[in-house]
Structure 1
Amino acid sequence: MNFSYYEELAKTTNTVTVDNTWSQGRSVFGGLAAAMVLTYIETQTGLKDCDLRTVNVHFCGAAVEGEACELKYKVLSEGRSVIQIEGQLLQDGAIKTQIIACFSRARLSGVNLTPAPLVFTNSPEDGIKLPFIKGVAPGFIEYLDTRFTSTAKPYSGSSEAVISGWIRFNEAPEVFSDSAILALIDAWPPAVMPMLHQPAPTSSITWNVEFIQPRETLAADDFLYYHCDVIQADHGYAHTEAKVYHPNGQLLALSRQLVAVYDKPKK
């Protein structure tokens, strides 16, 4: 059951059960949960003349794989140019994932600043592919083609708090949607992981993504380039900031997360 399967379910029903192949431990992969809520919002509201601008995600609790999830949405405000919509994924009436998505209609403006395209110093072929090892890697890794280009790897005890590389789905969706981009951004391990000396749990608490508009169309099998830095980390929490790029170098999205780190201090 690939990403397209769950994306299609979220378009047609408000009740979804995610199997264990999309798990992080016993929890549903957070990127898939957020993507399903966003898909449900976009389908139910039919916002054909609007662009997605921001998504704010709160991971309020672990959604358990194999149990029914309910999708809900509510329009918070709607003006001439901007509409803000709340969406939720619930289990047994408890909110597990909550998002607020902001959509906008284009307006004439004299302000225009387009960042220069990124000139890549590597390609997907240069990256080290993350293998899927059942029982070791999170289940959802099976569905992704993830290639690291950063030198410091997770749990290497590095002073380099950076993760970068290329990513796409193993089975390309028909359309590279907003939800697909959202899921792929969250698929990367937190950039704090290379600083750890041994495996330790980490958990995203809040997540903000700003989508750059307008953007060029993505082919279904395109890679996205991802670069993430740890901005600050202390007292068991890390603040990370990432940029996501189209394969032509165009900036696609800005992503920021607050990550809880459950490690033990090195003696």
Structure 2
Amino acid sequence: MNTLAYLRQLRLSHVLFTVLVAAILLYLIVPVLIVVPMSFSEARFLQFPPKEWSLRWYEAFFQSAEWMSAARVSLITAVVTTAVSLPIGMAAAYAINNSSLKVIRTLQIVLLLPMMVPIILIAAGVFFVYARVGLISSLTGLVLAHIMLALPYVIIALLAGLRNFDMSQEMVARSLGMNRFRAFMAVTLPQIKPSVISATLFAFITSLDETVVALFISGGDNQTLTKRMFTALRDEIDPTIAAISSILILASLILVVVAGRNKQG
């Protein structure tokens, strides 16, 4: 009886766990399942389910100079943020991984702070600093802010790879005549490729998806797509927003799939 009771309890626990996981997945997926159909609606307002189907809101997005300008700013910012964050994050992660100096530990805390501080406080602080130095509504200011926000995720992803790597291999390469940089490029970097891909993905998506800081410091010709979407939600709610959201969802899925395949390769 005790064994049967235990097996029944175990089975019940398994069923409850499965139901809980399914409920969480539905909670995460349902908003996506609602947004995508709404983007194909013929109606002039957000409607679910759509009564008639159309591509008019995708056409409205691609034919709008304002939306295209915002998309261009977001893409440029994300690409530059990623390109700058990776080498800085790599240098920081390498130093943190190979040093026990207190100054390096302090540097680690400072670099990871943007991930721990509420984003609204960061946005307010960046705004007041930029207001003094004239970087409000500038692409340079936007990129610098996004680099600060992306760096913690880049460092954590790269640190995970470095801590699973046997650094003695790099030491052997250096003992054979390679300098530190060549040894890193030839031995270490290829073996932490999955972490580099993850860091690249984190940096790009962090920049592309960032909204709060952009609300404070972007504007004019340098308005990001997320800020433009926020403004549209406030002033003119139409399915164009759903169309853009669907495009961003598709882009994110493509990036994740490509990154996953590169990791396996």
| Structure whose CA Rg is larger | 2
Superposition TM-score, scaled by structure 1 size: 0.26
Q: Which has the higher contact order (CA 8 A, sep 6+)?
A: 2
* More helix by percentage: 2
